[in-house]
Structure formats: structure tokens, C-alpha cells
Amino acid sequence: MEQIPDWPLLWRQLVEAQARGLKEKQGNKPEDAWADRARTFGDHVKKRWEKEDSTRRFMVDLLQAHPGSTVLDIGAGTGSWACLLAPYAAKVTALEPSAAMIAVMEENISRFGITNVEIVRDSWPDAAVTEHDFSLCSHAMYGEADFPSFVRRLDEVTKRCCLLLMRAPVADGVMSKIAREVLGQPYDSPNFQIAYNILLGMGIFANVLMEDTGLWKPWTHDSLEEAVDAVKRRLGLVEDGRHDPFLKRILQENLAWENGKLSWPAGVCSALIYWHKPSSSENRG
């Protein structure tokens, strides 16, 4: 019988592996990992948001059902969520540690004439913030090794509903096959599946809304060597060449050249995990 993973430990190990890969990629670049990428990231979100999705509809409907509410946006990035939700909230607190991200966020807030967003430059879960009605973290939890502490702090400062938007990879994706061979289990990175099992272990029986826009646009590379290097960084194997022959073989078998780029099969979508607090009106009979 297959052994059940220690989910919090698995999350930590994958976060630490990715941190090793990121450190190798950055080298001697500035401490702010987003220094050269914040504006590109913001443009990517704008492009992806050109198509309506169920997560944004859900969030807007939730705030419209509770006028005058406050929102905590953890890892606010360039402010896409803060700008979207501000018209429906009394106040949005945008928590973001990157100065480069904040600079773009301030431009976006000013462009939309928004006056009820407070930017706080700090990191979760150590940031000192007051209680908010709703707390949202969109894909900004992957660098936090202690996910249970991340969640407990989130739960502490939230009065109505906690929401986590996370990547959910398909079960038979290429990275899952690679992880099984290299790591002995199917998870290549911290994600929805691991997080949800952690929440269950914490006694949090959360709801899930799968985003209705389908799978994300696939990764692309200029060469097979670049693809192998990306996988090794993702798994924290930059200095380990033992798996290189396997990685080259499986990538050659599963990736395809399209428009001059080596393209992965699409294999990830977004999942919104949310749970209402017991004292909120949603849970009263």
C-alpha cells in the first residue's frame, strides 16, 4: 500500500528546491527578484484577464453581496486584484514586498483613479495587519515554506472568508511524470493538490471553484537544453546531472516545435480554494 505523504513536509521540500533553483538563476542580480520583471508580469496578467473568468466573477459577486467590506490582498503584485475589487469594497489593503511591483501597482491605481487602496510593503505571514472581512492570496504563497503557518495567520485576520487562488496541474502531465521518476512522487512544485491536503489535516474543509478558462498557455523554450535547464531549476537540481539523460529523453518525447519554439503540452489550470468563517452569515442556519 502506498504511503500517505507528509503534506506539510512535502510542501516545504518543494519550496526549498525551487528556492535553490531561483538562487542559481538570479546569481548576483538585485535582491528584489521582480526588479526586471514587474512590468512584464503586469502586462501578462492584463493579457490573461482579457478573457472573463469564474474566479473574478465569484470575487465581485462576493463583495457585492457584502457592501462596505474590507479586503486584504496578500502578494498584491502589480495591483490587478486590488484595482478590480476596490470599486466593490470600503477598503483594500494591498500587501506586497517587492518595490518594483509596488511601483507598477501605484501607476495602475493612479490610472484608474482609485482612492481606497492602501499599499503596505511587507511579507506574509509576518506583516502586522488588522482584521479584514475577506483575505485573498492569488498565487503568492509558493515561496512560503511553512504553509500551515501561512494559513493560520490568514485565518486569524479574516472575519468572513479566506480565499487562495492556486495552480492545479493535471495528474498525468509531463512534470508529474518527471517528478515521479526524479523525486519519487508526482508533485514538482507547491500547488493546489498539496495545499488542499494540508488544509484537510488542519481541519479546514474548504470549498473549491475550478477556473472555467481551461488550461494555462503552455511553457515554451528556444531549445531542448533550455527546457532541461528550466526543469532542473524547478526541481532544485542545477548542480545534479544524474537525471540529465532521462530529462532529455522525456522532453524530446513530449514537447513539440511550434512557431519556432519548443512547446510543452498545456497542463495547469487555476483553482480557487475558499472557506467561510464560522461566525459569518454564510454559515448560519
How many Cβ atoms sit within 10 Å of the Cβ of residue 180?
13
Is the predicted pLDDT of residue 281 greater than 60, yes or no?
A: no
pLDDT at 246: 97
Distance between CA 88 and CA 67 in Å, rounded?
7
**Are 123 and 130 in contact, with CB atoms under 8 Å apart?**
no
* Contact of 165 with 272, CB cutoff 8 Å: yes
Domains recognised in the chain with CATH numbers: 7-170+186-217+268-278 (3.40.50.150)
As a whole number of angstroms, the distance between CA 135 and CA 45 comes to 20
For 173-203, write each residue's pLDDT tens digit: 999 999 999 999 999 999 999 999 999 999 9
Residue 22 confidence (pLDDT) above 90: no
- What pLDDT is recorded for position 284? 41
* Residue 61 grid coordinates: 459577486
Q: If you average pLDDT over residues 55-73, what whole number do you get? A: 98
Query: Which one-letter amino acid corresponds to residue 31?
Result: E
Tell me the CA distances in angstroms from 158 to 27, 91, 92, one per residue in order. Answer: 38, 14, 13
Cα Rg, the chain, nearest whole Å: 20
201-241 pLDDT per residue, tens: 999 999 999 999 999 999 999 999 999 999 999 999 988 99
Q: Are 158 and 132 in contact (CB under 8 A)?
A: yes
For 21, the grid coordinates are 533553483
The beta strand positions in the chain, using DSSP E, are 70-74, 91-95, 117-120, 132-138, 158-169, 207-210, 220-221, 256-258, 261-263, 268-276
Question: Percent of the chain having pLDDT more than 70?
Answer: 94
Q: Exposure pattern of 29-52 as b/e (b: 16+ CB <10 Å)?
A: eeeebbeeebeebbeeeeeeeeee
Whether residue 13 is predicted with pLDDT greater than 80 in this model: the reply is: yes
Helix axes 244-254, 174-183, angle to 10 degrees: 160
- Write down the pLDDT at residue 27: 57
pTM: 0.93
DSSP state of 240: -
